[in-house]
Structure 1
Amino acid sequence: MLNELVSELKSHGVNIVKVVDISMLSENEKRGYPVAILIGVALSPSYIYRLSKENIFDCSEFSEKEKAVDQLAEWTANFIVAKGYKAYAQSERNLSNGFFDVDTKTTPLPHKKIAMLAGLGWIGKSNLLITQEYGSALCMCSVLTNAPLRTENKPIIESMCGECNICKNICPAKVIHGTKWRVNSNRDLIVDVYHCEACLKCLANCLWTQKYMRNYDSK
């Protein structure tokens, strides 16, 4: 079933599919499900170029791919249910029905946490997930399930941001504090999410995102 699922997702433009064991998490986080599937779709290098080099404000591709990955997560959940198992897509639409805390802007199990359990990346000083391959140029969604899928958990990657403060320095709203993430770090000590303008400057100008842009632009 997993091979069929991954093949279908890849055919729809998905770049990353990771399956992890979440049975060790709290009941509030896992909601009775032992397995999580992370789905990731990369933003295009040309879009990153426009955001960073041309210094434009354009959320179009980001919004489109956020919507697309949500739909793919819901499709994945339906695919698994059709196989006789339970599944719940953590799409924006589903989470808005009681699983997103408006006051704290949090969900019980963020996609980023699933990504970290998969060894995909770390939390940057911008509070975005950073991966070595794509930087922060990923739109993600996840599915919780009881399907007996093969899982592949990996050690948590420590922050590789070093002394870099590009995201902090470029943030027009000055909401990034420049704090290096550590396991169990308090999010509010890293970024003031309540005043973030969602301009995507931190995402596009991250050194790791720029590396992704250059690598794929040269192919």
Structure 2
Amino acid sequence: MLNELVSELNIRGVNFVKVVDISMLSANENRGYGVALLIGVILGPSYIYRLSTENILDYSEFHEKEGNADKLAEWAANFITAHGYKAYAQSEKNHLLHGSYDETTKTTSLPHKTIAVLAGLGWIGKSNLLITQEYGSALCMSTVLTNAPLPTENRPIVISKCGECTVCQNICPEKCIRGLTWSVGMNRDLLVDVYHCRCCLKCLANCPWTQKYMQKYMKK
């Protein structure tokens, strides 16, 4: 089933799929499911180039691919349930329907990036964004929780590779980024003030890891 599911997701525009064991998490986090399917859609290098060089506020591709990732998670959940298993897509729509997003604290019980960290995909940057070595932060994600017996691929947690870099902190117009280095279990509020962040995407686009991805693929 997994090979067919991944093949169908790839046809629909998904760039990567990770299957992660989440049985060790609390019932509040995993909703009683043991497996999570992480779906990733990559932001294009030309879009990153515009964001980082033209000093513009352009959500077009970001919102489009965030929405696509959610729709594909919902599609994947339906695919899994059609095969006789339970599945729950952690899409924005479902968070609103089921009250699993806390507007006051701006949190969900199980963020997509927590699953990405368990998959060994990357680490949490000083900006509180997931950073990967391959794409930087130029990616949109969604997840599906399921009881389907899918083969999982948890990897060792990647420690922060931000080092002494303060690009995201320096470029943040609202001064929301505190400049601390992430470690496992660290409270989000120690990293960033989400209540004053206006999601300008500057930290995403200008992260050196995102720029490295952009420069690599702009040459092709």
Matching residue of 2:177: 176
Cα shift at 1:178? 0.4
1:41-190 matches, within 5 Å, as 41-96=41-96, 97-190=98-191
Letter in 2 for 1:152: E
Cα shift at 1:133? 0.5
State the 4+ residue runs in structure 1 displaced beyond 6 angstroms. Answer: none
Matched residues in 1 for 2:168 and 2:26: separation? 32
Q: Secondary structure at the match of 1:194?
A: coil
- Equivalenced residue count is 219
Per-residue Cα deviation, 1:3-61 (whole angstroms, up to 9, x for no partner): 00000111111111000101111010111100000000000000000000111110110
Cα shift at 1:88? 0.1
Matched residues in 1 for 2:167 and 2:198: separation? 17
Matched residues in 2 for 1:12 and 1:133: separation? 21
Matching residue of 1:205: 206
Q: Secondary structure at the match of 1:193?
A: coil
Per-residue Cα deviation, 1:157-180 (whole angstroms, up to 9, x for no partner): 000000000000000011000010
Matching residue of 1:32: 32
Matched residues in 2 for 1:3 and 1:216: separation? 28
Cα shift at 1:218? 1.2
Q: Which runs of 5+ in 1 are unaligned?
A: none
Q: Secondary structure at the match of 2:184?
A: coil
How high is the TM-score relative to the length of structure 2?
A: 0.99
Letter in 2 for 1:11: I
Letter in 1 for 2:112: H
Matched residues in 1 for 2:93 and 2:2: separation? 25
- Identity of counterpart residues, as a percentage? 74
Q: Secondary structure at the match of 1:195?
A: coil
Cα shift at 1:120? 0.1
Q: Which runs of 5+ in 2 are unaligned?
A: none
Letter in 2 for 1:133: E
Matched residues in 2 for 1:187 and 1:45: separation? 28
Per-residue Cα deviation, 1:86-114 (whole angstroms, up to 9, x for no partner): 00000000011210111111111100000
